[in-house]
Structure 1
Amino acid sequence: MTAATDPARYTIPPATAELARFATELSYDDIPADVLTIAREQAVATIGSCLSGNHMAAMVSMADGMGILGSGEVATVFGRAERVPAPTAALYNAGTAQVIEWDDWVIISHSGGAVVPTAFAAGEQARVSGKEILTSIVLGDEVNARTSRAMQRGAYVGNSMPNHQIETALMAARLFGCDLTETRCAVGLSAFLAMENCPIGWTSDSKVLINGLPAMWGIVSASLAKAGLRANQEIIEHPAGFMSTVSEEVDADELVFGLGTEWHTRTLNTKRHPSCAYNLPAIECAIALHDRIPGFDPARVENIVVHGPGVTAYVAARYQAVEPSLYEAIREKRYSHVPLCFDAGFATVASLADGELTWRQYQDERIFSPEIQRLAARVSFRTDAAMHRAYYADYQYGARVVLTMDDGQEYVEERLQLLGARDRPYDHADKFREGAEGILSAAQTEEALAALRALDTVDDIREVAALLRPR
C-alpha cells in the first residue's frame, strides 16, 4: 500500500465529506423547534440590518458598480426596487448587513451577514419554500460555528474570520439540489482561493467584502459544481487545504463535533445597536444616561469614563494611534466611517449626545458635529477586573459609564451583559422597523415582518422577498 492510498494518511476527520453529507441530508423536521425560531428571528434581524445599510454612501456606490456583474431579474436587493442575478444580490445584501457593523454571531464568528443573504439569493434562484430557507440558515450557522471553533487559535477572530466560503457553498449547493459529489465539489471550488482579509482594509468600505465575496462566490461555486466542474473533495481538512491555509492552528475535531445533535445556532447573539459587540453595553448605558438626566445638555458634560473588560479598552484604542487622528483621516477621505464602528469612544459619545445609535450617527455631518467632537475629547477607559473575568469565563459583555457634569454631579449606568446576547434577548421587530424606516412604508414594513415570521408557511420564497422591495 502506498502513502497515497493509505486511508490512515490523515489523522483528522473527513470534514468535507461529513459537512457535505449534513448539508444534503438535513431535514427541516430534524431541527428542534427552538432552533428554527432562532433562525426565523435571525432573518428578521439581519434583513433589518440590510435595510438600514442602504442609507450609507458605500452601498450607493456598490449598487452603482455591481451592474458589471450582469443583468437578470432573479433575486431581491433588500430595500431597493431592482432584482438582480443571485450572486449579485448576495454580494450587495451581505454588504449592507455589515456596513455599519450591525450583524450577529454564533460561538465566536459573525454569521447572519453571510448566511441570510446567501439563503435568500440562492433560494429565490431555486424558488424554494420558506422551510428550505430556514433549514439552509440553520445549516449555515452550524457550519459557521464549527469552522470558527476549528481556527479560533489562529490570527483571525470574530468578524475577520475567513470561514464563510465553506458555509455559503454548502447552503447554495443544498438549495440548488446538488448531489453529494457536487456538494463536495462546490466547497472545493469555493475554498480553493482562500479569502483572507488585510487589517488595513478595515479602515475603509472594503470591509463589507468579508461577507459579501464569500456569499457571492459560494453561490457561483455551487452553480459550477452543479454543471459538472470538479474540485478537490477534501479541501477543508487536507494538510494542504483550506483550514491549514487560513489558520496557523487547526482544531480539526471541532469541524464535525456534535454535528446534527448539538445545535450551535442556540448560541446566536444579535446586536441591538450598530457597533462592535464590545461597545454595546457602553452604548446602552450612554442612551440610558441621555434619557434619565433632566434636560440633558451635551455641552455640560465634563468627563466620561467607560469601565469594562480589557477587550473593550483594546477595541477602543485600536485606531487611536493613527496620525493624523482618526477623525482627520475620515475628514480627508483617506478612511471611511468603518473604523468608528469599532471605536468605543465614538460609540459612547454619539449615543450619549443623541440618545440613539443608528445609521444617522455614521454620517459625516453627525460625526463632525460640535457636540460629538467635544465629547470625544472627554472620554477615557478603565478595565474593570470583575467584568474582565466574566467576559473570559462566560462571554459576559459588561460596561459601566460614569458621567460627570459641569456642576460636579455624577451619574452612573451599568450593564453586565449586552442587549441581544443569548441570555438577554430583545424583540427583533424593533431592529427591523428601525432599518425599514424611510425605505418601506409603515404598512409594508408590518406586512414584511409578519411574512418573515411565518416563513414556515410560504411555498415560494419569492413571495416574501417581494415584500422587501419598495413599492
Structure 2
Amino acid sequence: MAVSREPAADPPHGEPPDPPLITTLARWAAGLRFEQIPPRIVELATSQVLAQLAAIRAGLRHSAGSALVAAFGPPRQPDPRRAAAVLGVLGSWLNLDDTAYAGHLAPSTVAVPLAYARSGGLDGRALLTAVVAANECAARITAAATLGPLRGQSALHTHLAGAVAGRLSSEGAPGDRWVAALSLAFAAPPWPMMHAFLGGDAKLLHVLPSIRTAMDACDAAAAGLTGVPDILEHPRGFLGRFATVPLPEVVTDELGRRWHTDTLSFKLRPGGPGVDAAVDCAIELHRRIGGTPIDSVEVAASAYTLYAGQQAAPYLAGPDTPLSALLLDTTYPVATALLTGDLTVADFDTPAVRDPARWALAARIRQLHDPAMSRELFCSVAPFGGAVRRAGERGVAWLREFVGPELAALAEPDRPAGGGRSTAHDGVPPEGQRFEESGKATPARVTVGLADGRSLSETRSVPLGAAGPQTRRQHRELVRGKFLAQGGSGPVADALGGLAGVAADRLPHLIDAALR
C-alpha cells in the first residue's frame, strides 16, 4: 500500500540537510568496533551464534535437508557467497531461527558472518562485531516497515540488510561501500506469495533470494556501482511500498545506545511464531497426565496465535499437510507435545508426522481467543507492539485495520482486557520500553480433560527462550541445550560460549566442528 507524504521541509537557512537514512546507518555500522559493544550484547550475540548453528544442524537432520544440499551444495564449501546462502536456508525453514524486534534476523545476520569467518581471517571478536552490526541494521530497517503487510518470515527485506551488513563488516569494508551495497540491495526487495509460502516447498528457499541479492549488491558496490542512498525514505522508495505506517526515524534512532540485539528471542523448538507457549504448557501437562487417556483439549491464546493458525488452516490435510503450513498450525504441535512430552525436528518428519494418534488428538483440540492474552501481546515490544506505540494514533489505526476495532482497543494503554485488570507481564508504559528490559509475550493456556474426570491446566505468558527476564538470565544454558539437542557436542558448545576469545586461526575449525 503506497503512503502519501507531505514534501520534506527545507532545512533552516544555512544548515545542511540531514544525510539519507542508509548513509547514517551505514557509516555507524562500518565504524562499529568490538570495544564499543556492551558486554550484555556480546553475550547475547554469542548465544545467537550457537543457537543458529543448532538451527542449521536441525535443517540438515530433516529429510528435506538432503534435497537442499543436493540443490545448493553443503554448508561447508569454499566459496563464502554460496556457503552463506546454504547456511541461511538450512537455518530458517523449520522456524528455529532466532528473532528480535524486529525480524527473523539470524538466517542472514549470523549465517553470512559465519561463512566469511570460515573462509579465514576473522577472530571471534570480529565475528561477533559483524553479527551485532548486521542485527542492528536488519532489525532497524525491518522495524521501520513493521506496520505494513509483511512481518516475520515473510519480511524478506530483513535479509537484504542483514546479509549486506554481515558480509561488509566481516570484510572491513569502508562506509561508502556499505552505502552503495545497501542502496543497490533495496532497489528491488522481494515480496513473497503466501499461497506458495504455505502450499508447497517454496518456504524452504525463502531467504535464498535476499541473501543472493545482497551478495550481488556487495560485489557490485566493490566494482564501483552505486544506488540511491535515500531508497528507504524517498516517497517512491522502500517504505513507500512496504510500510502502511512508515517509521523512518527508527532506522537511526539512538545508534550505539539503543541495541535491538537486546530484544533477541531464542527459538528452542520448531514451530510457528505463536505456538511456543502452548507447546511449553503441553510439555508440562504431559508430565502431570501420566498415562491417563485424554478426553478433551482446549487452547486459549492471543489473536496472534489464532491468526497464524488461520493462515495455515486452508492447507491442512492431516499427514499430507505441507511442512510450511504444519509449522504454523497449533493443533498438531500441541497434540504431539501432550502425547510425547516434547516437540522436536523429528516430529515434523516421517514417520512421526503420519502417527494417527497425534492427528486424532489434534482434531479434538478446541482453540479460543483470550482478550487478556492479546493485551499482553500488544503490550510487548516484540513482535510489533513497540512499533504500534512508537507510531501513536497512526499505529492504533493500523492495528484497527489489521485485527479489527475490538482487538485494537486492547492495545490502548488504559483499556483493561475483557473488562478486568490488565495482565501485561512487564507493565509496558504507553510510550514504549527500554530494550534491555523488553519482552515478547505470546501467551497460551492449555487445559486437558482426562478420562478419570480430572481437569489439568497450564498457562505461560512468555515462552521458554523468548525475550524476557528469564531468558536474559539463562540464555547461555538454553542455547547450549538447543545445540546439544541437535546433535552438537558439549566441548564445541563450550568453546563457542567463549567465542570472543577465539583466535583467527582456530575459528574456521571450530565452525566446521559445530557443523559436522
Give the structure-2-normalised TM-score. Answer: 0.80
CA contact 2:304–2:442 (8 Å) conserved in 1: no
Q: Which moved more, 1:412-421 or 1:123-132?
A: 123-132
For residue 267 of structure 1, report the CA deviation from its aligned partner.
0.8
**Aligned position for 2:482:** 431
Letter in 2 for 1:181: D
Q: Which moved more, 1:43-52 or 1:234-243?
A: 234-243
**Aligned position for 2:170:** 175
- Residues of 2 paired with 1:208 and 1:247: CA distance? 25
**Secondary structure, aligned partner of 1:83:** coil
CA contact 1:93–1:212 (8 Å) conserved in 2: no
Letter in 1 for 2:312: Y
**Aligned position for 1:42:** 48
Question: Could you report, residue by residue, the CA deviation over 1:184-240 in whole angstroms, capped at 9, with x for unpaired residues?
Answer: 111122222211211112223321333333233323322332233333333333333
**Aligned position for 1:417:** 462
Q: Which moved more, 1:276-285 or 1:177-186?
A: 177-186
1:228 and 2:224 correspond: yes
- Residues of 2 paired with 1:106 and 1:465: CA distance? 24
**Aligned position for 1:213:** 209
- Residues of 2 paired with 1:209 and 1:242: CA distance? 23
Letter in 2 for 1:375: L
How do 1:286-301 and structure 2 match up within 5 A?
286-296=282-292, 300-301=293-294
- Residues of 2 paired with 1:410 and 1:226: CA distance? 64
> How many residue pairs were aligned?
437
- Residues of 1 paired with 2:34 and 2:22: CA distance? 22
**Secondary structure, aligned partner of 1:54:** helix
% identical equivalent positions: 24
For residue 303 of structure 1, report the CA deviation from its aligned partner.
0.9
**Aligned position for 2:275:** 279
**Aligned position for 2:387:** none
1:396 and 2:446 correspond: no
Ranges in structure 1 where 5+ consecutive residues have no aligned partner: 68-75
**Secondary structure, aligned partner of 2:342:** coil
1:199 and 2:194 correspond: yes
CA contact 2:21–2:252 (8 Å) conserved in 1: yes
- Mark the CA change 1:245 to 1:310 in structure 2 (over 3 Å): closer, same or farther: closer
CA contact 2:302–2:370 (8 Å) conserved in 1: yes
Ranges in structure 2 where 5+ consecutive residues have no aligned partner: 1-6, 381-439
Q: Which moved more, 1:260-269 or 1:247-256?
A: 247-256
CA contact 1:59–1:95 (8 Å) conserved in 2: no
Letter in 2 for 1:59: G
Q: Which moved more, 1:82-91 or 1:25-34?
A: 82-91
1:407 and 2:452 correspond: yes
Question: Could you report, residue by residue, the CA deviation over 1:427-460 in whole angstroms, capped at 9, with x for unpaired residues?
Answer: 210000011x2xx5xxxx1232122112111222
How do 1:132-171 and structure 2 match up within 5 A?
132-161=126-155, 162-171=157-166
**Secondary structure, aligned partner of 1:98:** coil
1:349 and 2:335 correspond: yes
Question: Could you report, residue by residue, the CA deviation over 1:390-417 in whole angstroms, capped at 9, with x for unpaired residues?
Answer: 1111242211111112233211111122
1:464 and 2:510 correspond: yes
- Residues of 2 paired with 1:227 and 1:178: CA distance? 13
- Mark the CA change 1:108 to 1:174 in structure 2 (over 3 Å): closer, same or farther: closer
Q: 2:67 aligns with which of 57, 61, 64?
A: 61
How do 1:63-82 and structure 2 match up within 5 A?
63-67=69-73, 77=75, 82=76
Q: Which moved more, 1:26-35 or 1:350-359?
A: 350-359
For residue 126 of structure 1, report the CA deviation from its aligned partner.
5.4
Letter in 1 for 2:220: L
CA contact 1:447–1:467 (8 Å) conserved in 2: no
- Residues of 1 paired with 2:453 and 2:17: CA distance? 65
- Residues of 2 paired with 1:35 and 1:294: CA distance? 41
- Residues of 2 paired with 1:321 and 1:469: CA distance? 36
How do 1:61-140 and structure 2 match up within 5 A?
61-67=67-73, 77=75, 82-125=76-119, 127-140=121-134
- Residues of 1 paired with 2:306 and 2:18: CA distance? 38
**Secondary structure, aligned partner of 2:227:** coil
Letter in 1 for 2:51: A
